[in-house]
Chains A and B, each alone.
Chain A
Amino acid sequence: MELIFEKSVTGRRGVRLPASDVPPAPPLSAVLARDGAPDLPQVSELDVVRHFTTLSRRNFSVDTHFYPLGSCTMKYNAKALEEAAKLFAPYHPMVPLLPHGASFSQGSLGLVHGLGEALAEITGMDEVTCQPLAGAHGEMTGIMLIAAYHEAKGNRKKYVVVPDSSHGTNPASAAMVGYEIITVPTAPYGDMDLEKYRAVMTDEVAAVMMTCPNTLGLFNPHIREICDIAHDHDALMYYDGANLNAILGKVRPGDVGFDVIHVNLHKTFGTPHGGGGPGSGPVGVKKLLASYLPGPRVVKNSDGDYSVIPHSHESIGRTAGFFGNFGVMAKAFAYITMLGREGLIQVSEQAVLNANYIMARLKDVYDLPYDQTCMHECVFSAARQARNGVHAIDIAKFLIDRGFHPPTVYFPLIVKEAIMIEPTETESKETMDAFIEAMRDAADLAERNPAAFAELPRTMPITRPDETKAAREQNVCYFGC
């Protein structure tokens, strides 16, 4: 399809601006002035509307398609959340940072504080900062807090331990903070091998990063022991909250022994992900880390009003411009407010039921490397189909033609030909039944006519784009840049 730049017609204009009511300023010096207007599309407003409306129709999305991406929690995004965020759109983040400015922003500050309190209760933590702008940003912030804690005690630690099933962001975030990574393999029971973990633990380990339930969708029965071993070495426990959707009201990481958690608001709390963001990654900590939290912090005074305090001298500093991705936070706050205690518990119960239902109905046709009750997601392997030359990616393309966004494939890396399915709680039995039928049809076709997969998908504007060519030619900007 044509690019908006290719639709450009010299002299065409979109939106008009208000006329100036002040005299023109003297021109910039020649050395500062741009040589003519920037080279942007010259199109009418209707050109813009048609172009982006057409583009939007080339996307699968939660509102249009079942989207069972494992580890990503693509649940329904309630429309009321959008309305909630709009209520706060006009407010400037600089106002509460002006002298006595907090009194002019009590509503927005109240929301930041209220969300932090709710997340602390949900996760079992003592304090929360909403500043991090995404899950991985929260991870990095959390590891920085841990580094500050060890630094304050005069302990220079070198390592962060992660299981080999962890999200790639875990080791990447720890590396951004200067740590070396120790990876512990997964045991046959589907989680970090306890004996191998014990063997790598020393006083040089700063933190252990875990997802529980992990990326195989399994709850680690040894989690408390893992926490205890870490604490014996004064290593802190980091909880990757990507899979929090499975345990709302059932388990609180803070109760189990974790010291830090990040929460992906765009996963557990139903805020839309926008084709890749914005997300939001608040970080909760136990008291021992509270003084290191980034600033500015919002606090509630004894009179019920909210103030902004600059961070303490122990703080790690600042991880983002202002108070976080506030618009996303407002949506999560609205979601928590609507669902309440019972609604949140129901989220996890139904999400776990849905995942187990899909697992039960597919395990006779796909290999299930870890055959246990799963939490909110399950991981199959297409190894059986691969023997006929049909790989996980082929099954993904088959599903596209059947109108389903494919599950996550090839993750976690420890499962060969992984197909990771997370239906979430908002999908109905009939949608899942249709998906199950499609998955079974794919398995059947893989037996009968494996060659047919090479032609798929047939129903999309493009099919099997050449990724090697894209990487080799690196055409990342339309001709003329």
Chain B
Amino acid sequence: MSGADYCPNSPEEVRRMLDAVGVADIDDLFRPISPALRAKSFDLPPGMSEFEMLHRLQTLAGRNAQGLVHFVGGGFHDHLIPAVVDHLASRPEFYTAYTPYQPECSQGTLQALFEYQTAICRLTGMEVANASLYDGGTALAEAALMALRITGRSRLVVDGAVNPFHREILATYLANLDVELVEIAPKAGMEDDARLRAAIDDATAAVIVQNPDFFGTLSDLSGLAAEAHGVGALLVASVYPISLGLVRSPGSMGADIVVGDGQSLGNPLSFGGPSFGFIAGRREHIRNLPGRIIGETVDRNGARGFVLTLQAREQHIKRHKATSNICSNQSLCALRGLIFLSALGSEGMAELARLNRDKAEYAKAVLGAVPGVEVLNSGFTFNEFTVCLPKVAEEAVVALLRKGVAAGVPLGPYYPDMEKCMVVTVTERRTRAEIDAFARQLEGALWN
């Protein structure tokens, strides 16, 4: 029994269609498939009405811990989402459309993505951006591949302070290619690019960094960019978009390719996806950008219009010679990012960034005052920082989870010599009371 039926045709209409085709019944249409090839099993439960389905999924969602207070990041952040984002992105003309292959009847999506590209360029201080990639980690991998194409070199230097998940994705993408991936051990919590500068040579395609890095430390990338450029290498920077409301843009620091994850711009946590990856670069490299790009043009009557452009780089035309295999991107999530940025505007983004930093600095102070807790970062941070505890951080995290607080990301699994440390994330959503309570609970977990 099927619980839902979105096939509209009545038995009578089906009959008339079969007649038009010239077959006796629907089975006849599957005759080209010999009996030997037919499904051996299709053992699925009977269907449910939408009401039963929703009840079942509500019950399932109820098996997640409710109301955890998040101080965890790891690439996804608990941010406010203005109601306009949901309302406008939920317009079915946006969310039930497809790739804008016919520009005349897709100007809504096309113009929105052109505006998105503009917003990303302005935020990152770059000249060109595409219409989005899958997520921050895959965007980093695509940026690395782009740098290899541009320079024709095969050596990549990656800072060990880049998000470990993103480094893992990068390594996975490169595993079958003839590329030397050099990972430089981080000096956790320190603003120090000497170790990276020392690793760059004239065979290097790019040096890949994150700002703020996985430990929360903000750096000026200018010196590193100059060093890379001096030997013909590129600087690839992964950035946290909210921070750019306050922090100098990676473009102005000399980055050549800028990527990041757009989840924090109006996309819910949604257990890790969907979000979107952004990628921006310099105009001279536009033909090496992966994915879709929207361009402005005029129509036959001189009216302004927007189209998919530079498609000759893409897989549907270039097949195995394309810049990337990307076909779907994350348009709707990118649209959410654009609506978010428009609703907040210049001042709103600056204020949001300040709120994040203010709350995090407050948390840094109160957690740092807990006996035995040491803040590792010596320089500036944005909304994440690293604390080291008098015991294994995983133990404290487990104890706090039981009290409804997701305290931070323990570093042991990713940096074996840092098992007493964890990265704490504080967004604008955390209140002073939650931060104070967190400090008390951490003290209790450490000393009781």
Interface check B301, CB cutoff 8 A: yes
Instruction: Write out the residue numbers on chain B whose beta carbons fall within 8 Å of the beta carbon of A275.
Output: 94-95, 97-100, 106, 108-109, 112-113, 331-332, 335
State the CA gap A174–B321 with chains docked (Å). Answer: 11
Given A23-B358, A59-B108, A106-B63: A92 and B320 within 8 A (CB)? no
Interface check A187, CB cutoff 8 A: no
Interface check B119, CB cutoff 8 A: yes
Contact B96–A25 (Cβ < 8 Å): no
State the CA gap A345–B327 with chains docked (Å). Answer: 28
Contact A104–B64 (Cβ < 8 Å): yes
Instruction: Write out the residue numbers on chain B whose beta carbons fall within 8 Å of the beta carbon of A67.
Output: 98
Q: Which of A42, A221, A273, A342 contacts B1 (CB 8 A)?
A: A342
Contact B134–A134 (Cβ < 8 Å): yes
8 A Cβ contacts from B108-129 to A: 108-109, 111-115, 117-119, 121-123, 126-129
Q: Which of A223, A320, A359 contacts B37 (CB 8 A)?
A: A223
The distance from the CB of A311 to the nearest CB of chain B, in whole angstroms, is: 9
Interface check A200, CB cutoff 8 A: no
- Would you give the 0/1 interface string for B66-94, flagging 1 where the beta carbon is closer than 8 Å to chain A? 00101011111010101010011011111
Given A77-B96, A338-B49: A273 and B3 within 8 A (CB)? no
Contact B352–A464 (Cβ < 8 Å): no
Contact A252–B41 (Cβ < 8 Å): yes
Contact B70–A224 (Cβ < 8 Å): no
Residue of A nearest to B81 (CB): A89
- Would you give the 0/1 interface string for B228-272, flagging 1 where the beta carbon is closer than 8 Å to chain A? 000000000000000011111100000000000100000011111
Interface check A13, CB cutoff 8 A: yes
Q: Which of A8, A247, A346 contacts B2 (CB 8 A)?
A: A346
Contact A57–B331 (Cβ < 8 Å): no
Contact B345–A466 (Cβ < 8 Å): no
Contact A42–B63 (Cβ < 8 Å): no
Instruction: Write out the residue numbers on chain A whose beta carbons fall within 8 Å of the beta carbon of B78.
Output: 92
8 A Cβ contacts from A365-405 to B: 372-373, 396-397, 400, 405
State the CA gap A361–B20 with chains docked (Å). Answer: 7
At the interface with chain A, which of B27-35, B150-158, B193-201, B439-447? B27-35
Interface check A87, CB cutoff 8 A: yes
Contact B348–A63 (Cβ < 8 Å): no
Contact B6–A326 (Cβ < 8 Å): no
Interface check A133, CB cutoff 8 A: yes
Interface check A243, CB cutoff 8 A: no
Contact A95–B68 (Cβ < 8 Å): yes
Contact B105–A59 (Cβ < 8 Å): yes
The distance from the CB of B369 to the nearest CB of chain A, in whole angstroms, is: 14
Contact B309–A470 (Cβ < 8 Å): yes
8 A Cβ contacts from A246-289 to B: 247-252, 255-256, 266, 270, 272-280
8 A Cβ contacts from B157-188 to A: 165-166, 168-169, 171-173, 175-178
- Would you give the 0/1 interface string for A217-257, flagging 1 where the beta carbon is closer than 8 Å to chain B? 01101011000000000000000000000011111100110
Contact A276–B21 (Cβ < 8 Å): no
Residue of B nearest to A19 (CB): B355
Instruction: Write out the residue numbers on chain A whose beta carbons fall within 8 Å of the beta carbon of B276.
Output: 278
Contact B50–A14 (Cβ < 8 Å): no
Interface check A194, CB cutoff 8 A: no
State the CA gap A462–B74 with chains docked (Å). Answer: 44
Interface check A356, CB cutoff 8 A: yes
Contact A87–B57 (Cβ < 8 Å): yes
Instruction: Write out the residue numbers on chain B whose beta carbons fall within 8 Å of the beta carbon of A108.
Output: 61, 64, 271
Given A34-B244, A53-B91, A321-B272: A353 and B104 within 8 A (CB)? no
Interface check A41, CB cutoff 8 A: yes
Interface check B437, CB cutoff 8 A: no
Instruction: Write out the residue numbers on chain A whose beta carbons fall within 8 Å of the beta carbon of B317.
Output: 168
State the CA gap A82–B294 with chains docked (Å). Answer: 28
Interface check A411, CB cutoff 8 A: yes
Instruction: Write out the residue numbers on chain B whose beta carbons fall within 8 Å of the beta carbon of A337.
Output: 3, 45, 47-48, 53, 56-57
Interface check A186, CB cutoff 8 A: no
Q: Which of A22, A25, A464 contacts B299 (CB 8 A)?
A: A464
Contact B355–A17 (Cβ < 8 Å): yes
The distance from the CB of A25 to the nearest CB of chain B, in whole angstroms, is: 4
Q: Which of B6, B57, B169, B341 contacts A84 (CB 8 A)?
A: B57
- Would you give the 0/1 interface string for A340-362, flagging 1 where the beta carbon is closer than 8 Å to chain B? 11111111011011101101110
Contact A474–B286 (Cβ < 8 Å): yes
Contact A169–B315 (Cβ < 8 Å): yes
Contact A56–B108 (Cβ < 8 Å): yes
The 7 closest A-B pairs by CB, nearest first: A340-B47, A322-B272, A274-B332, A93-B272, A343-B2, A276-B331, A317-B172
13 further interface pairs, Cβ-Cβ under 8 Å (given A255-B38, A294-B172)? A38-B350, A52-B112, A106-B64, A136-B315, A172-B324, A177-B176, A276-B98, A322-B273, A334-B53, A353-B26, A428-B8, A471-B310, A476-B309
Q: Can you list 9 pairs linking A and B with CB atoms under 8 Å apart?
A: A32-B218, A52-B112, A89-B270, A91-B269, A92-B271, A178-B176, A251-B37, A317-B172, A338-B50
